[in-house]
Amino acid sequence: MNYPMRYSLEVKQLIEPYGPSCDLDACVPLMSLGSDSPFGAISVGDSITDGPAISDLGIVRHINHMIGPCGDDTSMHLTRVYLDPED
């Protein structure tokens, strides 16, 4: 059975440069969005902003995708984007 898909985007900031020992659970949440439509392509090395011509949040260093149930009749595609730590 195909359920409707919802989309969620979480943007987090790393507390140390990304690498094998990086603790992704300790990252600082910056923003979270939900949508009925996909957010589009996001790649490592992209720059993320918090809105048109507002503020550059940082460079993408790691991305996680998860797809699973969300309620009784919906599926969720969650994308977590991890940005460079603050300088």
- What total of structural domains would you count in the chain? 1
Give the pLDDT confidence score for residue 53 in this predicted structure.
60
Give the pLDDT confidence score for residue 87 in this predicted structure.
58
What is the domain extent for residue 55?
A: 5-83
> In tens digits, what is the pLDDT along the chain, a chain of 87 residues?
677 899 999 999 999 989 888 899 999 999 899 999 998 889 999 988 766 666 778 899 999 999 998 887 899 999 999 998 875
Give the pLDDT confidence score for residue 1 in this predicted structure.
60
- Per the CB < 8 A criterion, the answer to whether 28 and 10 are in contact is no
3-state secondary structure 27-42: CEEEEEEEECCCCCCC
